Amino acid sequence: MSSAALSDLATSSRNDFLDDVLAGLSQSQKSLSPKYFYDEAGSDLFEAICLTPEYYPTRTETALLAHVAPALSAWVQSGCVLVEFGSGASDKTRLLLDAMPQITTYMPIDISAGALEPAVDRIKDAYPGVTVVPVEADFTQPIATLDLATYPAVLGFFPGSTIGNFTPAEAAAFLKAARAMLGPKALFLVGADLVKDPAILVAAYDDAAGVTAAFNLNVLKRINTELGGDFDLAQFAHRARWNASDARMEMHLESLRDQIVHVGHHAFAFRKGETIHTENSHKFTVKGFGALALASGWTLVEQWLAPDDAFAAFLLERF
Ligand SMILES: C[S@@+](CC[C@H](N)C(=O)[O-])C[C@H]1O[C@@H](n2cnc3c(N)ncnc32)[C@H](O)[C@@H]1O
C-alpha cells in the first residue's frame, strides 16, 4: 500500500473512532465499542490478561484446541486457506498449523497493527512453508481486499470467544457476513465461552492484579491521546458485572464523582456512579449457539467441549 493510501486509512480510522466515541458518550447509557481497546498497549494488556490465574478462557480453549486440531484435520482439504478473525498474537493458530500441513495460506485479520505485525513475523519464521497474508481491518465492515475464490478450501477461525462481544443480533449479522466473505467452500471453527458459575466469571473479568482494570481504562487513555480528550483516569473505576437476564459479563467504567469531560470541543457530563459500558462478553449454551448458527446460514456439524463444559469449539458448515 502506498504511503498516501496508508495516511488516508489512518485518517478514516481516526474519524470513525471520533464519530463512534461522540455517539457512544451521547447516549443515556454511555457506551464505547470494545474494538477500541486494541491499540498496541491494549493488545499487550490483553495478552497479560490471558496470563492471569483468573482468566480461564485462554488456557481452556488452548487445551481444547490441542484435541480439536487433529480431529479437524480430516475435514480440511489440501491447499486450504486459514482465515482468522481477531488473530491477536496468533498463538492458537499454531495448533491448527501444526496439525494441518494442508493449510498452505494463512490470512490473519486484526484491527490492531501492534498485534498483527509481530504475530505475522513470528508465524512466518516458524512456518516458512505457509504463505502469510495479513489483513489490518475491522472485521465488522466489508473487507474489499479479501479474495478467496482461487483457494480449493477455506477454513474460517474465530477463537477467543470474541463472538461473545457482539449482541445476539450483531453476532447473527457477523456470521452472515462471514458466510459471504468465506464463500461456498467454507468451514468455520468458532471458539465460544459457555454459561457457568457467575463467581468464576466475575473473577475472570476483575483479576486481583488489576490487569483487566488497566485494559478497560486504556480506552480512555486512547481517547485522550488520539482524540484530544481530558479524561482523568483516577476518577474512573473498572467494574465487572454478571447480567443474568442477557447471559453476559459486562465491563463498565464508573465515574467516581460528578465531572465534565471533554473530547475535542465536545463536553460530556458524568454523575457520580454513572458508567460507560465498554464491553459485553456473552456466554453461550450449546443449544443457543446452534440456533444462532442456523439463523445465520450455518449448520453446526461438530462440537468439542472442554472439561466441566467450560468452553466450546464449534465447527460450522455453510448450507
Ligand atoms: C479477545 S482478543 C482474542 C485474540 C486471540 N484471537 C485469542 O483468541 O487469544 C480479540 C482480538 O480481536 C481483535 N479485534 C477486536 N475487534 C475487532 C474488529 N472489529 N476487527 C478486527 N479485529 C478486532 C483485537 O485486536 C484482538 O486481537
Express each pLDDT in 120-167 by its tens digit.
999 999 999 999 999 999 999 999 888 899 999 999 999 999 999 999
Alpha helices (H) in 129-242, listed in sequence order: 168-182, 198-204, 211-227
Helix orientation angle between 286-295 and 168-182, rounded to the nearest 10 degrees: 60
Edge-to-edge strand list for the sheet holding 275-282: 30-31, 275-282, 248-255, 236-243
Q: What is the pTM of this model?
A: 0.96
Instruction: Give just the sign of the alpha carbon dihedral 33, 180, 145, 102.
Output: positive
pLDDT score recorded for residue 240 = 98
64 with 91: CB under 8 angstroms? no
> What are residue 275's DSSP bridge partners?
254
DSSP-derived secondary structure for 116-145: HHHHHHHHHHH-TTSEE--EES-TTS--TT
By the 8 A CB rule, do 85 and 158 touch? yes
The predicted-structure confidence for 111-130, as pLDDT tens digits, reads as follows: 999 999 999 999 999 999 99
Could you report the per-residue pLDDT of 19-53, keeping only the tens digit for each?
999 999 999 999 999 999 999 999 999 999 999 99
d(CA 280, CA 31): 11
Round to whole Å and give the CA distance between 33 and 41: 17
Ligand 1 nearest atom to the CA of residue 139, by list position = 20
State the pLDDT at residue 93. Answer: 98
Which residues contact residue 317 at a Cβ distance below 8 angstroms, ignoring those fewer than 6 apart? 186, 187, 188, 298, 299, 301
Domains assigned to the chain: 17-49+199-282 (no CATH), 56-196+284-318 (3.40.50.150)
For 149, phi then psi, to 5°, come to -60, -30
Q: What residue ranges line ligand 1, CB within 6 angstroms? A: 35, 38, 43, 46, 58, 86-88, 92, 109-112, 115, 138-140, 159-160, 162
Q: Write down the pLDDT at residue 185.
A: 87
The residue to which cell 486509512 is assigned: 9
Q: What is the 3-state secondary structure (H, E, C) of the chain?
A: CCHHHHHHHHHHHHHHHHHHHHHHHCCCCEECCHHHHCCHHHHHHHHHHHCCCCCHHHHHHHHHHHHHHHHHHHHCCCCEEEEEECCCCCCCHHHHHHHCCCEEEEEEEECCHHHHHHHHHHHHHHCCCCEECCEECCCCCCCCCCCCCCCCEEEEEECCCHHHHCCHHHHHHHHHHHHHHHCCCEEEEEEEEECCCHHHHHHHCCCCCCHHHHHHHHHHHHHHHHHCECCCHHHEEEEEEEECCCCEEEEEEEECCCEEEEECCEEEEECCCCEEEEEEEECECHHHHHHHHHHCCEEEEEEEECHHHCEEEEEEEEC
In this prediction, residue 144 carries a pLDDT of 83
pLDDT over threshold 90, residue 4: no
Q: How confident is the model at residue 318 (pLDDT cuts 50, 70, 90)?
A: very high
CA 215 to chain CA centroid, Å, is 14
Q: Quick one: DSSP state of residue 194?
A: B
Residue nearest atom 14 in ligand 1 by C-alpha distance: 86
Centre of ligand 1 from the C-alpha of residue 306, in Å: 22
DSSP lists the bridge partners of residue 187 as 155, 317
Structure confidence at residue 84 (pLDDT): 98
Pocket probe for ligand 1: among 96, 111, 158, the residue whose CB has the most ligand atoms within 8 Å is 111
Q: Residue 88 Cα, ligand 1 centroid: separation in angstroms? A: 6
Residue nearest to atom 6 of ligand 1 (CA): 87
Q: Pick the atom of ligand 1 nearest to 84's CA.
A: 6
What is the average pLDDT score of the chain?
96
Q: Which pLDDT tens digit goes with each residue over 176-235?
A: 999 999 999 899 999 999 999 999 999 999 999 999 999 999 999 999 999 999 999 999
Going by C-alpha positions, the residue among 46, 63, 51, 70 that lies closest to residue 312 is: 63
pLDDT at 101: 98
Rounded mean pLDDT of 233-239? 98
Place of cell 477500541: 36
